[in-house]
Amino acid sequence: MSKAEPSESIDRSRELLQTSSKARGIERRLFLRQGLSLGALTLLTGCDVTDTSAVQGVLNGISRWNDGAQAALFNSRRLMPTYPESKAVTDFRYNAYFGEDLIPKIDPVTYKLGLSGLIDSRTPWSLRELYALPQESQVTRHVCVEGWSMIGKWTGVPLRIFLQRIGADLTARYVGFECADGYYSSIDMASALHPQTFLTCKISDEILAPRYGYPLKLRIPTKLGFKNPKWITAMYVTNRFPGGFWEDRGYNWFSGV
Ligand SMILES: Nc1nc2c(c(=O)[nH]1)N[C@H]1C(S)=C(S)[C@@H](COP(=O)(O)O)O[C@H]1N2
Ligand SMILES: [Mo]
């Protein structure tokens, strides 16, 4: 396939895709992850790959098509591997789109989890109420798209139980999350109901440290790390595609592991 590449324009567009913002880097990684070269994209689409907005349009299209394929292949009963507790790392790596100096400080006394959308009981939940929900633990692997993974132990309520408790419409398409740092993300309902998808309050048997998302973090081992929002302040159920912080910047939305 590389023989057919008009190499000069491809080099130029590679350059364009690599330059400037972090988003450019993401576009390029999206290419590589999906195993597509710019040459292949030219052959597939006939579009001018030196026009980055046209390329981005095609990439978005491919990514959305990929979401549908992944959703169709998703087996809501298939469990991700679990590990013995001895394999769980206690000094877990910190990651966010900002440094540790900007970690949100959340006051446990005034904190409430806001609820909206296709939910019967939309009364906000206090931490005391969240802690009183049935708790389960999981020792699973967290996989970050940036190329590292770690096994950890998280404890919380299965999201399925919480969704049932608040009378969420389980036939709706999406569950969305908003966070204290302005981050946001969303998942499909099948993934939300997966038995290993938890709303967690603890890591390594301790209340989440601020850097790990105090007081509430979604732990969803079937998806990449960036689909595990920390510092959650609100949750909603909707049929309108909600997107996400990195998802709206070029990361594939479904992002199954
Ligand atoms: N609110 C919020 N949640 C977030 C992020 C973020 O920047 N803000 N980063 C995501 C990414 S990319 C990863 S890998 C994990 C990191 O979680 P950890 O710090 O507990 O390892 O959090 C995810 N959840
Ligand atoms: Mo990540």
DSSP tag of 20: S
Asked if residue 141 lies in contact with residue 149, where contact means CB atoms within 8 angstroms, the answer is yes
Ligand 1 atom at shortest distance from the alpha carbon of 98:
7
Q: Whole-angstrom Cα distance, residue 81 to residue 141? A: 8
Q: What is the pLDDT of residue 5?
A: 40
What's the rounded mean pLDDT across residues 232-238? 98
- Residue 185: pLDDT band (50, 70, 90) is very high
Q: Whole-angstrom Cα distance, residue 112 to residue 127? A: 7
141-182: per-residue pLDDT in tens?
A: 999 999 999 999 999 999 999 999 999 999 999 999 999 999
What's the rounded mean pLDDT across residues 92-120? 98
CA 225 to ligand 2 center in whole angstroms? 4
Q: State the average pLDDT for the chain.
A: 88
17-71: per-residue pLDDT in tens?
A: 444 334 444 554 555 555 566 677 677 667 777 777 888 888 888 898 999 999 9
Instruction: Report the b/e string of 130-149 with b at 16+ CB within 10 A.
Output: beebeeebbbbbbbebeeee
Q: Kindly state the percentage of the chain with pLDDT values over 90.
A: 75
Ligand 1 atom at shortest distance from the alpha carbon of 181:
1
Structural domains of the chain sorted by starting position, each given as residue range(s) with its CATH number in brackets: 1-257 (3.90.420.10)
φ/ψ of 2, rounded to 5, equals: -65, -25
Closest-CA residue, ligand 1 atom 23, reads: 226
Of 1 and 102, the structure prediction assigns the larger pLDDT to 102
DSSP tag of 103: P
Ligand 1 pocket, residue 95 CB under 6 Å: yes
Pocket test for ligand 1, best of 140, 228, 232 (most atoms within 8 A of CB): 228
CA 227 to ligand 2 center in whole angstroms? 8
- Residue 130: pLDDT band (50, 70, 90) is very high
Q: What is the pLDDT of residue 142?
A: 98
Pocket test for ligand 1, best of 230, 233, 248 (most atoms within 8 A of CB): 230
Ligand 2 is a single-atom ion; what residues have CB below 5 A from it?
144, 225-226
- Residue 110: pLDDT band (50, 70, 90) is very high
Of 57-71, 149-163, 190-204, 226-240, the one with minimum mean pLDDT is 57-71
Of 15 and 154, the structure prediction assigns the larger pLDDT to 154
